[in-house]
Amino acid sequence: MKFDIISIFPDFFQSPLACGIVRIAQEKGIIEVHVIDPRSCAPDSKVDDYQFGGGAGMVMKPEPLLRSIRKTVGKNSRLIALTPRGIPFNQNMAKALSSEDHIVIVCGRYKGIDERVITLCKPEEISIGDYVLSGGEAAAFVLIEAITRLLPGALGNRDSAESDSFTTPLLEAPRYTRPNSYRRHTVPAVLRNGNHAHIARYRRKMAIEQTLERRPDLLPYETFTMQDLNILLEVMNGKNSRHKTR
């Protein structure tokens, strides 16, 4: 998978690309990442300008961006523009994008890019959430990491991508490592008694409980098994009795 990032801040990407699974995926040849600075396509190095109609903030000029896009986009490329007005990014989009060969990501500044770039190139416009960033650079890395970790061979243990929150649409159960007792808080006994069926049920229960508490909108009722429904009842009864005690 090849990523081309079009950004006026190429330095931004140095350290995130040099860490963790994104670094390893590059070393293994699973991904290749290049950053193109539109300044290299601007004879006078001017990549932004005041907006017509007035208003604070600069807008990215069309010519340097269009030249950068033309230089990188081929027949089989997905072209993405990062902007707060885009479709909200999620795990399903990461999964769909992970089967592409070449992704070109245009990082807009917050005040945006000249609308004619959008009209002429028709990129998919993607946002990473309902808040404002000064530019798309941080968002570009979010996409790259979310996509890269889904590529075969990128994670040491395939299982750890499969059990992630949002792949199974439940939040994860709490995790523990050594020591067993830390400041008088001990690890739940069920996790240490070696009964794998009990452990699986406990984790499922905790996942359902966490999701009900924090993201009830995510609960996948339509795929719930009988056991899940029993767990859900248990969790809800537990909650009621906890509130009733006094």
Residues that bind ligand 6GU (CB under 6 A): 82-84, 110, 127-129, 131-133, 135-136, 139
Which lies closer to ligand 6GU via its Cβ, residue 41 or residue 82?
A: 82
Which lies closer to ligand 6GU via its Cβ, residue 126 or residue 170?
A: 126
Which lies closer to ligand 6GU via its Cβ, residue 22 or residue 140?
A: 140
Q: Which residue in this structure is represented by tokens 């906890």?
A: 242
Q: Give the shortest CB-143-to-ligand 6GU separation in angstroms.
A: 9
Which lies closer to ligand 6GU via its Cβ, residue 31 or residue 128?
A: 128
Q: Give the shortest CB-139-to-ligand 6GU separation in angstroms.
A: 4
Interior CA angle at 34 toward 32 and 92, to 5°? 60
Cβ contact 5:140 at 8 Å: yes
Q: Give the shortest CB-8-to-ligand 6GU separation in angstroms.
A: 13
Q: Give the shortest CB-83-to-ligand 6GU separation in angstroms.
A: 5
Report how far residue 56's alpha carbon sits from residue 48's, in angstroms, rounded to the nearest whole number.
13
Q: Give the shortest CB-111-to-ligand 6GU separation in angstroms.
A: 9
Which lies closer to ligand 6GU via its Cβ, residue 17 or residue 82?
A: 82
Which lies closer to ligand 6GU via its Cβ, residue 7 or residue 72?
A: 7
Dihedral sign computed on CA atoms, order 166, 170, 171, 172? negative
Q: Give the shortest CB-100-to-ligand 6GU separation in angstroms.
A: 18
Instruction: Report the length, in residues, of the chain.
Output: 246
Which lies closer to ligand 6GU via its Cβ, residue 62 or residue 136?
A: 136
Q: Which DSSP letter does residue 29 get?
A: T
Q: Give the shortest CB-234-to-ligand 6GU separation in angstroms.
A: 38
Report how far residue 24's alpha carbon sits from residue 29's, in angstroms, rounded to the nearest whole number.
8
Report how far residue 37's alpha carbon sits from residue 45's, in angstroms, rounded to the nearest whole number.
10
Q: Considering only the C-alpha atoms of the chain, give the largest distance between any 2 of them, rounded to a whole number of Å.
A: 74
Tokens of 153: 């061979």
Question: Long-range pairs for 172-177 at CB < 8 Å and ≥24 separation?
Answer: 172/207, 172/210, 173/202, 173/203, 173/204, 173/205, 173/206, 173/207, 173/210, 174/206, 174/210
Radius of gyration for the alpha carbons in the chain, expressed in angstroms and rounded: 23
